[in-house]
Chains A and B, each alone.
Chain A
């Protein structure tokens, strides 16, 4: 059991740069979720996929945020023109079908925008 993995674990970038994060879910899980967590807060839902279909993206924080899951396996989250307010932990989770079951989280990517 390899669990959910995320890469990179840490990213430091300058304001205005684009960044891309990768998430590899548990292999038999067809649902994949992205969350953002800022300091002192609980995770905040951003978007989710069922297989390659992005079924909810209205809660992405702005049009600078986009996510893909082209082959229904790994997913990428891109932030364009980063701002200091984007500094946060970005968490990925996966689950089996049904939407009511446990979501398994990866270790997260910590982003710092200077």
Chain B
């Protein structure tokens, strides 16, 4: 079963703009991770935020986590055409500690 729900399902922006994607989940988690997937390929890990963290940065990426609202956001600043991909949030539940539970993803299109 899918744990997370990303919003929006699709996002189209121009190069240089910022892109924000949101993720909501249902159960208590150990951590939340964001992955990127280029068309039909494997997933690339972007960033992991633990349940006791509120914000994390990595290059042009900024992730926030609000465990009280069971939600997270991924901000990509100064987007590039190469950022075009699907972005997934995935949670590791507190009671399992191994399986990643993915949402359906946000499809991001960055046009030059």
Which residues from chain A sit less than 8 Å from chain B, CB to CB? 4, 31, 33, 35, 40-45, 48, 55-56, 59, 89, 91, 93, 99-108, 110
A45-B100, A103-B45, A103-B100 given; name 7 further pairs at CB < 8 Å. Answer: A40-B104, A41-B104, A42-B102, A56-B99, A59-B99, A89-B40, A93-B100
Interface of B is mostly: strand
- For residue B97, CB closer than 8 A to chain A, the reply is yes
Query: Which among B43, B45, B90, B102 has the highest number of chain A CB atoms within 10 Å?
Result: B43
Contacting pair A42 B88 (CB below 8 A): yes
Total A-B residue contacts, Cβ distance less than 8 Å: 69
Hey, which chain A residues are within 8 Å of B98, CB to CB? 31, 33, 48, 55-56, 99
